[in-house]
Amino acid sequence: MHIFIDESGTFAPASQSGAWCVVAAYVVGSRDRVGAEHALNALKVSVGRNPTDEIKRHDVSEREYFRFLEDLCAQGGFLVSVATDAGMNEWAAESQAGQVRVIREAIDSLKGLEDKLETEALATAMEVLSPQLYVEIICRMHLAWLAVNIGVAHYVQTEPQTLWCMNWCFDAKGGAGAAFEKAHGPLMAGLAGEMSRTKPMPFVAGADYSDFGRFIRGGAAALRPTSPRQTRAEVMVNAQRVYRERQAFVDSARSLGVQIADLLVSGVAALLRGKFSDQERAARYLGRLTMRLYATDHSSYLISFGNPSAPAPISDAAKTAIEKMNAVARAVFIQRPR
């Protein structure tokens, strides 16, 4: 399972609301990856570029972009996105301190020395982040958790053999981004591991998890269905193996998958900011590409680092866009397990 990730926006505090920053993943199995790349190359040819060229969304017209989204939707991959309004994140530093405190408070409840040491290292690494990088890391952690949970639940029903490997590919920041890239792997794995403990992975009863079993402590045999429908299993996922075994920051010019992720994340960001001339059509196409875990979830996961006692307002453009995306987004499960 290939997970290509890119971001739009700096995640730095903004003076006004509506400064949407987005991270998105294009998730695709090996079988459908070639078709997705053909859709990208067809877009390049349609605007007079070579397949080896890298193009951005501003290089193509809305009509051409929508045709690309339609072609991509015909493939087996899907989109997952997480967004935050940088103009409403005035409590990012407080959130960061609270997150560090919660992680440290959990250390005493852990049994193994290795788990205790890893958790303390996670708290220390998070403590030294700038508020800007903290916001981006948290958004990426939620994205990674969603991509794995949705991808595993989807592909175990459609192409279970693709789950033997989780291949992560990120757009390299380069230069000043080197420090971020160094901290990114252990932080994402640690945070997603913490999230996996509080929100266990859902599974499909009776499905073949033999290929994914190498990522589960105790193997696929640790999964025991408790009802005829999907439910949650008390299993431990090896977060280090899932999120770090195959992870690379690459030059987007050399990765067609990252180029697809770039085109998609810039589209989601533009949609939330109300930048398309045909917002409804953009929401419909991006929504059709989106996969969510449950039908009751939002098509784009929104995270706020504002005052928790005063819910952050959302612009009419962003609210309408998400509603339109929700109407057509696909869901793996109809309802949450009880």
Helix, strand and coil percent figures for the chain, each rounded to 5: 55, 15, 30
For range 60-80, the mean pLDDT: 97
Q: pLDDT at position 130, please?
A: 85
Residue 159 CA to residue 219 CA, distance in Å, equals: 19
| Least-confidence region, from 8-17, 131-140, 229-238 | 229-238
Q: For 292-333, how does the pLDDT look when each residue is reduced to its tens digit (9 = 90+)? A: 999 999 999 999 887 777 766 788 999 999 999 999 999 999
pLDDT at 91 over 60: yes
Q: For 177-196, how does the pLDDT look when each residue is reduced to its tens digit (9 = 90+)? A: 666 677 777 777 777 777 77
| Least-confidence region, from 50-54, 152-156, 213-217, 312-316 | 312-316
pLDDT at 173 over 80: no
> Per the structure block, which two tokens stand in for 174?
């380069």
Residue 9's contacts (CB-CB under 8 Å, 6 or more residues apart) are 19, 20, 21, 22, 86, 269
Report how far Cα 20 is from the mean position of its chain's Cα atoms: 16
Cβ atoms 253, 172 nearer than 8 A: no
For range 14-42, the mean pLDDT: 95
Residue 208 CA to residue 54 CA, distance in Å, equals: 38
For range 228-236, the mean pLDDT: 55
Residue 322 CA to residue 264 CA, distance in Å, equals: 15
Q: pLDDT at position 119, please?
A: 79
Residue 184 CA to residue 125 CA, distance in Å, equals: 10
Residue 189 CA to residue 192 CA, distance in Å, equals: 5
Q: For 247-280, how does the pLDDT look when each residue is reduced to its tens digit (9 = 90+)? A: 889 989 999 999 999 999 999 999 999 999 999 9
Nearest to 158 by CA among 70, 32, 73, 72: 32
Cβ atoms 150, 25 nearer than 8 A: no
For range 39-59, the mean pLDDT: 95
> Per the structure block, which two tokens stand in for 123?
């708290």
Higher pLDDT, 181 or 42: 42
Identify the band that residue 57 occupies on the pLDDT scale cut at 50, 70 and 90.
very high
Residue 230 CA to residue 228 CA, distance in Å, equals: 7
Residue 135 CA to residue 305 CA, distance in Å, equals: 8
Identify the band that residue 228 occupies on the pLDDT scale cut at 50, 70 and 90.
very low
